[in-house]
Amino acid sequence: MVQPFKSPKRIARFLFCRIFFTRTGIHFARKCSSLRRGHSALLFAALFLSAGMGLFSQLSAESGRAIPAPALDEQAGPAATSEVAILAGGCFWGVQGVFQHVKGVTSAVSGYAGGDSKTAQYETVSSGSTAHAESVRVTFDPHRISYGHLLQIYFSVAHDPTQRNRQGPDTGTQYRSAIFPVNGEQARVAKAYIEQLNQAHAFDAAIVTSIDPARSFYPAEDYHQDFLTRNPNNPYIVVNDLPKIANLKHLFPENYRAAPVLVAAPQSSD
């Protein structure tokens, strides 16, 4: 769980990371270096204050949330050995990292869903104009963990489902909260669970997660795969994603696995 802020210095350090260690913050910092010193300082001050105003409304997303299990869930058939879920919840580094630590998950691949193959590239998707969302294809054993229980983890610790077209420091439709059901039963379970959570006021605001028509999934570039595991000291990971792993362990101890299941050679799936 995220520890409370105990000093102005901790707040300042956190705000600095929120601005400059978003994945686009590095590009911003480089641009600032070409500005005159005075203009750069003014711009930094304006962004610092802006981030500070929005920070405290986002802290609940960092701490995870205990929510009820779905009342309606899939029932695994006796012959079923593997199933796929495609979920979008902001930056795929953290979402992938969460599900790689879930027992019963056999693969979690970062990628893109919602658009077409021609635009399934990170730089293009980052424009926010491709219809793609950064997503994770989760392959799991339905006899060890159900689709509904994966959704419970998704809503509880993987992201904040009340944020529209953003997650934490990242903004744009590519960071939207979305579920891409691969069959009618998944769509039915997802729809019923969102209604259940909204009726129970499980969150402080309404869930904005969309249930989108099934589309092809396109694995992301190799350098995005297993990013959290390979870069545990990356400031973005430290601030935004490691708390999710801690929350998974705290809220779902029976589902947590210490050793993540890592990506081998992802392939596109239709």
Which residues are catalytic, by number? 91
- Closest by Cα among 120, 116, 105, 111 to 93: 111
| The amino acid at 233 | N
**How far apart are alpha carbons 190 and 205 in whole angstroms?**
18
- Distance of alpha carbon 179 from its chain centroid, rounded? 12
| 77 class by beta-carbon count within 10 Å (0-12 exposed, 13-18 middle, 19+ buried) | exposed
> Measured between alpha carbons, how far is 19 from 136 in angstroms, rounded to an integer?
25
Residue 250 and residue 237: Cα distance in Å, rounded? 18
Cβ-in-10-Å burial (0-12, 13-18, 19+) of 87 comes to buried
> Angle at the Cα of 46 (from 122 to 159), degrees rounded to 5?
40
119: which DSSP letter? G
